[in-house]
Amino acid sequence: MMDNWPQEPLRSRSPGPPPPRVARIAVVIPSYRVTAHILDVLARIGPEVAAIYVVDDRCPDRSGDFVQAHCADARVRVIRRQDNGGVGLATITGYRQAMADGCDILVKIDGDGQMDPRLLPRFVRPILDGTADYAKGNRFFNPEDVRSMPAVRLAGNAVLSFMTKLSSGYWNIFDPTNGYTAVHARTLAQLPLERIAPRYFFESDLLFRLGTIRAAVIDIPMTAVYGEERSHLRIFRVIPAFLAGHARNFAKRIVYNYVLRDFSIATLELAFGALILVFGVIFGAWNWAINASRGIITSSGTVMLSALPIIAGLQMILSFINYDILSVPRRALHPFLSAGEDEGDR
């Protein structure tokens, strides 16, 4: 009779590996004179977000108090800064609090309504998939959007993008000042947050810092919404700071990546290429000036002694740039970092 009893399937007594933890997504919104738009931005943030941090950067309109008085979303937490540190410092303040609260992916959205919160899953997906460490918006991906932009904006962004490519090493990105971003907390924890530029150079400087740890960065196509909001960026005031910042970061990147951390054929190509290029230019200019003052035609031999180093130097520098482009980080870093790593572990 016992043979007729129903047999239960065998089960292991060991509990097995625990199910993967659902990633906690946080949104950080630096808040400065955005009371006209921020409530609408908050209302459009989807349920996939676990926490929202509104950072009042000592806003004259007291936007932190405004949000606290008019927003009933339990996910929203207002952080008030004692002084105005700029959009970068406000964002970092939110990042630090989100990481301290155990959030995994940190999304930065501006509070002026130009960034659609409903696009957030696009930014988060490549990080969740382990294909990127940092995702940023690109408003210039769609040709229809580009046609509607002023020529000055297009030209300015092209220049800024090229400068950022040089200083950060991310030749695969565009629209570097786009503030719609997402980053994995483990990746962010590897960066010296206190050294990142606090104001409008923040996004560009953050890309440089990500490049020093070879984090994978990806562009996310998006459309910006332009309404009645006013930008606080004064382009002619920040141009000198942007130029100086990119030049400084480019020099640091070359030393970090091609001298201290690695020494390859690309290092020699850049060094010797720059050396003989400068020699050719100085030698040619010097002889031309002397001969012109004497009324003498420069000989073909002297011209060749100047032209050949210039051509060879340019060729070696172009070869270095090609090597640099092919060296753009493609593999995400955060899957290989310990969940317990933070700034204090470094």
Q: Which residues of 62-89 are buried (b: 16+ CB within 10 A; e: fewer)?
A: ebbebbeeebeeeebbbbbbeeebbbbb
pLDDT of residue 234: 53
| Distance (Å, whole) CA 330 – CA 133 | 10
pLDDT of residue 170: 96
| Distance (Å, whole) CA 336 – CA 334 | 5
Q: Which residues of 111-121 are buried (b: 16+ CB within 10 A; e: fewer)?
A: bbbbbbbebbe
Give the model's confidence band at 11: pLDDT under 50 very low, under 70 low, under 90 confident, else very high: very low
pLDDT of residue 8: 46
pLDDT of residue 277: 96
Q: Rg of the chain over CA atoms, in angstroms?
A: 26
pLDDT at residue 67 greater than cutoff 60: yes
Provide the whole-model pTM.
Answer: 0.84
| Distance (Å, whole) CA 63 – CA 78 | 9
Please name which of 259, 65, 73, 239 lies closest in space to residue 152, comparing C-alpha atoms: 239
Contact 113, 40 (CB under 8 A): yes
Q: Which of 20-24, 85-89, 103-107 shows the highest mean pLDDT? A: 103-107
**CATH says 25-227 is which class?**
alpha beta
CB neighbourhood size of 61 (10 A):
15
Give the model's confidence band at 69: pLDDT under 50 very low, under 70 low, under 90 confident, else very high: very high
Give the model's confidence band at 62: pLDDT under 50 very low, under 70 low, under 90 confident, else very high: very high
pLDDT of residue 233: 52
| Distance (Å, whole) CA 295 – CA 288 | 10
Q: pLDDT tens across 167-208, in order?
A: 999 999 998 889 999 999 999 999 999 999 998 899 999 999
Mean pLDDT, the chain, as a whole number? 87
Contact 313, 277 (CB under 8 A): yes
pLDDT of residue 6: 46
Of residues 10 and 177, which shows the higher confidence score? 177
Q: pLDDT tens across 222-250, in order?
A: 986 655 545 555 555 667 888 899 999 99
pLDDT at residue 305 greater than cutoff 70: yes
